[in-house]
Copies of this chain bind each other. A is one copy, B any other.
Amino acid sequence: MSSDLVYTAGVDIGGTNLRFGIFGAGGKQESDSRILMPKAADVDFIIRNIKKFLYDNKKYNVKTLGIGIAGQIDAESGNIIFSPNLNWRDVPLKKRLEEELGLNNILVANDLTAITYGEWKYGAGKGFNNLICIFVGTGIGSGIIINGSLYTGCFNSAGEIGHTRIVSGGRKCTCGNYGCLEAYAGGHGIASIAIERAYADRTAFQDVINESGGVIESITAKSIAEAYKAGSKEAVRLIEETGKYLSDGVASAVNLLSPCAVILGGGVLDGIPELFNIVKTETLKRALKASSSNLKILRSVLGEDAGIIGAAALASSV
């Protein structure tokens, strides 16, 4: 390594973790780090930690920085219009970072936009001109490649597959509407359904409750995944339902976009590996033949690093 080479940093501002990575030529990962996000993390916390990471890795002489963050980003200014996880509104993230880091090559993108770019450039999406990359975590989001480039829509907000209405007039979603895919099949939605069912029938859900420290309100997608692995009947039923709901959303997107490939990833899918096969099988069964006969449904391969890899790759591409 030498300071003559060009290095790019990627930052993934998630709800749980703040991740950093440094990448050299061809996307080679040179360094990475992660810290837990505190509740109510503000922009100063993010800036302070990016500064520290860059200082700790100053030998790489990073000139380009890419940031991925959940929420709506103004593409021109790099302002965060709204980030629901962090409850940020109108935060001039790019401008603040430019001032505080003394860098002028900073790109701020939606996290799924960055992840999709990473999977397309270096991961499961390599070589596909049209694809949708869907990540199922606490919420559900996606990014879209069309005709060989990222598609973010007219208002830089495309890809919100989590808010596909799959049950007209159904469960309330965090977006304020009803019946969204995310309200049924995102980590938060799955846990909410389990909590309701556990209150209604504690005995049937005892295995799930046991995995949640004995407290119904503590049920999470993670404790459901543990109960699923241990063979809990109710957890198995819930995960099979989740797979069908996911396939409703995926099949709808396939019918609308007729992509070459669908890439599936995210914490919920990583935590319950069987879910991928349920979603794949159901989607191929439910989507129109014209769009599904030759469709590839693939697992994300970049895993937890997809966000930093994508943010860095995207920043160095412009």
A220 within 8 A of partner (CB): no
Query: How would residues 175 to 214 of chain A score, 1 for a CB under 8 Å from any chain B CB and 0 otherwise?
Result: 1010100001000000000000000000000000000000
> Which residues of chain B are within 8 angstroms of A97 by Cβ–Cβ distance?
none
A248 within 8 A of partner (CB): yes
Q: Which of A57-65, A221-229, A256-264 contacts B (4 or more CB under 8 A)?
A: A256-264
Query: How would residues 29 to 68 of chain A score, 1 for a CB under 8 Å from any chain B CB and 0 otherwise?
Result: 0000000000000000000000000000000000000000
Cα of A293 to Cα of B128 in the assembled complex, Å? 32
> Which residues of chain B are within 8 angstroms of A147 by Cβ–Cβ distance?
146-147, 151
> Which residues of chain B are within 8 angstroms of A19 by Cβ–Cβ distance?
none
> Which residues of chain B are within 8 angstroms of A156 by Cβ–Cβ distance?
258, 290
Taking Cβ atoms with an 8 Å cutoff, the residues of A that contact B are: 72, 81-82, 128-130, 142, 144, 146-147, 151-161, 163-169, 175, 177, 179, 184, 244-245, 248-249, 251-253, 255-260, 286-291, 293-295
Given contacts A164-B164, A165-B248, contact A258 B175 (CB under 8 A): no
Contact A252 B167 (CB under 8 A): no
